Amino acid sequence: MARFSALALGLALACAGVAAQSFPPEQVRKGADLYATHCATCHGPRLANPPWAADLRTFPREDRARFVDTVTYGKKGMPPWDDVLKPDDIEALWAYVVAGEGKKP
Protein backbone atom coordinates (compact mmCIF):
# COMPACT_ATOMS: atom_id res chain seq x y z
CA MET A 1 0.00 0.00 0.00
CA ALA A 2 2.75 2.43 0.92
CA ARG A 3 4.36 1.62 -2.36
CA PHE A 4 1.17 2.33 -4.21
CA SER A 5 0.77 5.72 -2.51
CA ALA A 6 4.34 6.62 -3.33
CA LEU A 7 3.65 5.81 -6.95
CA ALA A 8 0.42 7.79 -6.96
CA LEU A 9 2.19 10.72 -5.33
CA GLY A 10 4.96 10.50 -7.89
CA LEU A 11 2.43 10.60 -10.70
CA ALA A 12 0.60 13.51 -9.12
CA LEU A 13 3.85 15.42 -8.78
CA ALA A 14 4.82 14.62 -12.34
CA CYS A 15 1.50 15.98 -13.58
CA ALA A 16 1.67 19.05 -11.36
CA GLY A 17 5.21 19.55 -12.63
CA VAL A 18 3.93 20.30 -16.11
CA ALA A 19 1.88 23.22 -14.86
CA ALA A 20 3.84 24.44 -11.87
CA GLN A 21 7.31 22.94 -12.46
CA SER A 22 8.85 21.73 -9.24
CA PHE A 23 12.52 21.90 -8.42
CA PRO A 24 14.58 20.48 -5.57
CA PRO A 25 14.68 23.05 -2.74
CA GLU A 26 18.47 23.01 -2.63
CA GLN A 27 18.61 23.96 -6.32
CA VAL A 28 16.22 26.86 -5.77
CA ARG A 29 18.30 27.99 -2.78
CA LYS A 30 21.50 27.87 -4.82
CA GLY A 31 19.78 29.92 -7.52
CA ALA A 32 18.62 32.45 -4.91
CA ASP A 33 22.20 32.90 -3.71
CA LEU A 34 23.56 33.28 -7.24
CA TYR A 35 20.80 35.72 -8.03
CA ALA A 36 21.56 37.87 -5.00
CA THR A 37 25.25 37.92 -5.93
CA HIS A 38 25.09 38.45 -9.69
CA CYS A 39 21.66 39.62 -10.80
CA ALA A 40 19.97 41.63 -8.04
CA THR A 41 21.89 44.85 -8.82
CA CYS A 42 20.02 45.19 -12.10
CA HIS A 43 16.98 42.92 -11.72
CA GLY A 44 16.06 44.07 -8.22
CA PRO A 45 16.39 42.33 -4.85
CA ARG A 46 14.42 39.05 -4.77
CA LEU A 47 13.20 39.58 -8.36
CA ALA A 48 11.17 42.62 -7.26
CA ASN A 49 11.29 46.21 -8.51
CA PRO A 50 14.01 45.95 -11.11
CA PRO A 51 15.52 49.46 -11.31
CA TRP A 52 16.09 49.24 -15.05
CA ALA A 53 16.33 45.63 -16.28
CA ALA A 54 13.59 43.20 -17.32
CA ASP A 55 11.14 42.10 -14.61
CA LEU A 56 11.95 38.41 -14.24
CA ARG A 57 8.70 37.68 -12.39
CA THR A 58 6.99 38.00 -15.76
CA PHE A 59 9.47 35.91 -17.72
CA PRO A 60 7.56 33.21 -19.69
CA ARG A 61 7.72 29.93 -17.72
CA GLU A 62 7.78 27.80 -20.86
CA ASP A 63 10.75 29.60 -22.34
CA ARG A 64 13.67 27.98 -20.55
CA ALA A 65 15.79 27.98 -23.73
CA ARG A 66 15.52 31.74 -24.06
CA PHE A 67 16.45 32.20 -20.40
CA VAL A 68 19.54 30.02 -20.75
CA ASP A 69 20.56 31.78 -23.98
CA THR A 70 20.14 35.28 -22.59
CA VAL A 71 22.00 34.50 -19.40
CA THR A 72 24.78 32.69 -21.23
CA TYR A 73 25.34 35.08 -24.15
CA GLY A 74 23.75 38.31 -22.99
CA LYS A 75 21.24 40.53 -24.77
CA LYS A 76 21.51 44.30 -25.27
CA GLY A 77 21.95 45.76 -21.74
CA MET A 78 22.09 42.28 -20.23
CA PRO A 79 25.70 41.09 -19.81
CA PRO A 80 26.79 37.56 -20.83
CA TRP A 81 27.65 35.19 -17.97
CA ASP A 82 29.30 32.27 -19.74
CA ASP A 83 32.71 33.02 -18.21
CA VAL A 84 31.28 33.37 -14.68
CA LEU A 85 28.45 30.84 -14.38
CA LYS A 86 28.49 27.14 -15.14
CA PRO A 87 25.49 25.49 -16.84
CA ASP A 88 24.55 24.07 -13.41
CA ASP A 89 24.47 27.58 -12.00
CA ILE A 90 22.22 28.80 -14.79
CA GLU A 91 19.86 25.86 -14.17
CA ALA A 92 19.74 26.84 -10.50
CA LEU A 93 18.91 30.43 -11.47
CA TRP A 94 16.14 29.16 -13.72
CA ALA A 95 14.78 27.05 -10.85
CA TYR A 96 14.81 30.12 -8.63
CA VAL A 97 13.07 32.35 -11.18
CA VAL A 98 10.44 29.73 -12.05
CA ALA A 99 9.80 28.40 -8.56
CA GLY A 100 9.25 32.04 -7.66
CA GLU A 101 10.39 34.14 -4.79
CA GLY A 102 7.07 33.65 -2.98
CA LYS A 103 7.50 29.89 -3.01
CA LYS A 104 11.13 29.93 -1.90
CA PRO A 105 11.69 27.13 0.62
Which CB, 23 or 81, lies closer to ligand HEC? 81
| Shortest separation between residue 35's beta carbon and ligand HEC, angstroms | 6
Interaction site with ligand HEC (CB under 6 A)? 38-39, 41-43, 53-54, 56, 59, 66-67, 70-71, 75-79, 81, 93
User: Of the candidates 27, 29, 93, which has an alpha carbon nearest to the alpha carbon of residue 59?
Assistant: 93
Considering beta carbons, is residue 10 or 74 the nearer one to ligand HEC? Answer: 74
Q: Are 17 and 23 in contact (CB under 8 A)?
A: no
Query: Long-range contacts of range 18-23, CB-CB < 8 Å, 24 or more positions apart?
Result: 21/61, 21/98, 21/99, 22/99, 23/95, 23/98, 23/99
Q: Which is nearer to ligand HEC, 7 or 72 (CB)?
A: 72
Position 62: which residue type? E
Shortest distance in whole angstroms from residue 2 CB to ligand HEC: 40
**In the complex, what is the shortest distance from the CB of residue 48 to ligand HEC, in angstroms, rounded to a whole number?**
14
